[in-house]
Structure 1
Amino acid sequence: MEEHVGPPSHVERPQRTAALVQKLKAAGLAARCWTLPPRRARDDELVLAHTEAHVAHIDGPPKDDEWQIGDNYYTAATPLAARTAAGCTVQAVEAVCSGQMQRAFAVVRPPGHHAECARAMGFCFFNNVAVAALAARRLGMEKVLVLDWDVHHGNGIEEILYGRADIMYISLHRGNGFYPGTGDIQDVGKDEGRGFNLNIPFPRGGFNDADYIAAFDLVLEPVIRAYAPDLIIVSAGFDAVQGDPLGGMNLTPQVYGHMADRLSRLAVGSKLVLALEGGYNLRMTAECGAECVKVLLGAKPVPLDSRGAWRPARETEQLLAEVAAAQAPFWPVLEPLSTKDGFSSAWGDYILSKQAEAALQLRRSPRAKSVL
């Protein structure tokens, strides 16, 4: 996968996976993990999500005019790298579904969540997570949840899974025209898949841990509990972290550990697979990945900053109210939040509870005791 190398200035570069692996080794985390043998995805797996023509096109030899396919670069090493990224993600899912292990992290590239059924885009060639989710269904998982916390909406996953009820797609991303310009609140699925597509598009950059935790507390966790997935696969992009050159968000590495911890307790049997998507600040991406692996190995997530953990932005209240109203027809658990008064009351109670938690945490901190 590291042989897929483009122009020197391109942010999707081999060092993304290399830096994460090096961080896991340096922190002593890699030595505590089983290493799965990498493999390339088979044709019968790729066509679960893609057309045969698309698979053949990506497999074909690069032509002079295909050095750049849209915003993707393409080299002689790309077909094998793309097949290996998808195959390793399927391999991780197979290991968890079979009971060989409870949780897994596929450290792969090129990423996949923008790749549509018949189109490569957004640095992505094959849709690693969509292929793996469909493979999980073939392995007997009745209900699969794909949660995408990459800062960009996973238009490819949404397109491939949009009409399904057996695989639910949830995305937290930056919206309001941010690349790729998809992922609206009202995109709830079609036909029997209505209600099984849930988007939370933050309207600008700069949102932080508190905003994502509020989304989990008020909307996502109740819906996921109601869905009761047999397996959760995370499109684990880390480009919403502070300092990322593309994302413009302000999450800390620690909040990714919190999200991973919650998801590990929401899947039936704690079956959880993370697959690397975006994340272009090498150091911060590695830090985020390490926080997630600590949780996958059973550690408690690092406490979030008590000064900001209960301060979501005002726009988040409006955003989550709109999401709850759009999804309430499909998820009765959100019905109390579906009206303006109902959500306003719940939001006020939520903020007060978070203020109380933060004050208690602050009183218990060593710094506070030294000041007292």
Structure 2
Amino acid sequence: MLAHELHNPLAPIANAGELLTRVLTGHPGAQAAVDMIKRQAAQLTRLVDELLDISRITQGRITLQRGPVDLAGVVTQGIGTVEPRLREKRHTLTVETTTSDEPLFVEGDMARLVQCVGNILTNAVKYTDPGGVIRVWTRPRGAHAVIGIADNGSGISAELLPHVFDLFVQSTRTLDRAQGGLGIGLAVVKRLVHMHQGEIAVHSEGVGHGATFEILLPRIARPSESAVETDIAKISPRRVLIVDDNRDAADSLAMLLALQGHTPVVAYRGDEAIARAQTFLPEVALLAIGLPGMSGYELARRLRAMPQLAGIRLVAITGYGQPEDDQHTREAGFDEHLIKPIDHKALQRSLSGRARSERSGGA
């Protein structure tokens, strides 16, 4: 419930920021303000997610979505999560990866490994003065693969070093770093790395001498090309039904999808959604779960049962993100479960997907 209530107001903020980015391309002054909104919404989302993650991990409620993962891709995406802050602080970033003939693969959850790299880089950026240097590398080490991240920032004292992966532990910070965070990020990293049967280590010569982190993960053989996802097909415009009682979230998402060439229709209640679906005949329905009167689960079942909507793709758009919530949406007939605020690349991938009946060859 806490996740739902905290994620819900973030969704329209993130949607509006993405929408304004596309609309105000010719207004540099306005774009700077929009970028600020997007950065702060992303920061709030990160803080909320960290709190929820540490709760889920300590309760054993996180399930890894395992598959072959190329560490070069993990590093690239991890850097992307901190790129605006890197530019802002004018850091020099160097990346050293293995050659293309020897990519490093591990068995793991891509999103969670990106989160680990992003969390460590966030600390490196935070504790390195403007104009500093951050290095990232990957390399083989026997039967393992290593991700290393080093900075020439404020370093870690000998007293603090054994405790950096403990909950709510932070280095002493000056006033310009007061926005730093909750002291949860590295604790999350350690727990996620251990869930991947890996190890994480940190080294620092002391205050003022920077810090080096290394993630050690079991290495696997390079998978065959057929095992690597290569679907990058261009997304065709879709008719999209959006159902959410949070009007700001629904309306801002509709504006964004319209700007991307889709045809959206909005409803704020389940009965209204059914009436609109009968004439609009959506190809995709993005449904909130906690709707008044008729829940998103019931609405999904009723849409799935309408003959004229055969092949409709149902996507849950919700603040509920526990594993059992995902299971409930699958049982109700949803094809996918996206958590607010929605990652817009993930949404585009979802819009390009097929309905469950089409994947199984049914009607």
Interval of TM-score (by shorter of Structure 1 and Structure 2): under 0.3
Higher strand share: 2
Q: TM-score scaled to structure 2, two decimals?
A: 0.26
